[in-house]
Chain A
Amino acid sequence: MMRRMTCATPPASPATKQMFGRILTSALFAGAAAGLIAALLQLFFVQPVLLHAELYESGELVHFGGEAVSARPDLPGLFDEPMRNLLSILFTMLTYTGYALVMVALMSQAERQGHEITARHGIIWGLAGFVTFHFAPGLTLAPEVPGVAAADVGARQVWWVATVASAGVAMWLIAFGGNLVAYVIAALLLMAPHVIGAPEPDSFTGPVPTEIGALFAARAFGIGMAAWVLLGAFCAYFWQSETAHAEATA
């Protein structure tokens, strides 16, 4: 009996290794796929708005105080700045791989607690991830078009991290808390960062027309949500197929 007990403990180590391998593999596939789609959507829908804003940031275009400026200036196309756009694709894929590692790890934890994880559930996971990492901080620190006035970047990063952390806990409580107290705590966690308030600039100095700023924020949120929904579905899908593969070869 003693012998069997001591033999039973060591296999936890290979199992642990295999567990990390499965999380890493699923996250790499899901992050690369969703990140590539996110990057292409951003280049097509968000980048033209950003480039338009940069014309005002650099002073090349000025609105008010002079002649009316065309709302449709000539902008660089997708292939005019290949290095800049390739770097954007690379960094978007990396960022989404980071998101995917967190999401697949939490999915594996939820599954171990008896919750089902399918690609359809993944869509809800993706929406929760979008709220956590993009929408919650963006509700007060709205997605910034280049050239807007903003407070010190370090202070905004601290607020961003705190807001993402509290929104993440809130999402988990809403999904798995299962009682009124958990829901109330979640609501408080979601509201608190915005009641406390984010670091704001002392004065507004942005030269970019408000129409461009509003369109940029709307596009950034819309593309972010689409990409996150795909990321959630992909994470769940690859996690399921990795698990099925591991069970088949066990």
Chain B
Amino acid sequence: MTTKTIKSTASAGSIIPVLFAVVLGLGIITVTGHVQASTLHDAAHDVRHATGFPCH
């Protein structure tokens, strides 16, 4: 009974770091691939073309 309680608490708690990692990853992809600020765009220009992001 006690074991069950611990298990379910642990798995309910550990979805948060998974979601946080996904959001962080998508955030990085958005900055390197999509943000159109001109400095960022120029720096990432070749990568955006080669990695299939819409560039300009």
Contact = CB atoms under 8 A, between A and B. Distances in A.
Interface in A1-28: 1, 4-5, 8-9, 11-13, 15-17, 19-20, 23-24, 27
B48 to A, nearest CB: 8
Contact of B16 (A16, A106, A156): A16
Interface residues of B, number: 40
Interface string B45-56: 011011111111
A101 B24 contact: yes
Given A19-B18, A91-B47, A101-B24, 11 more contacts: A8-B2, A8-B9, A42-B47, A47-B50, A50-B46, A101-B21, A105-B18, A138-B52, A141-B52, A150-B56, A216-B49
Interface of A: 1, 4-5, 8-9, 11-13, 15-17, 19-20, 23-24, 27, 39, 42, 46-47, 50, 84, 87-88, 91-92, 94-95, 97-106, 108-109, 112, 133-134, 137-138, 141, 143-146, 150, 153, 156-157, 160-161, 216, 220-221, 223-224
A77 B20 CA distance: 41
A245 B53 CA distance: 37
A9 B24 CA distance: 27
B38 to A, nearest CB: 13
A98 B54 contact: no
A150 B46 CA distance: 17
A173 B53 CA distance: 25
A102 B5 contact: no
A91 B29 CA distance: 10
A94 B24 contact: no
B26 to A, nearest CB: 6
Nearest to B12: A12
Contact of A150 (B32, B36, B43, B54): B54
B29 A88 contact: no
Interface string B24-50: 111111011110100000011011011
Contacts of B36: 153
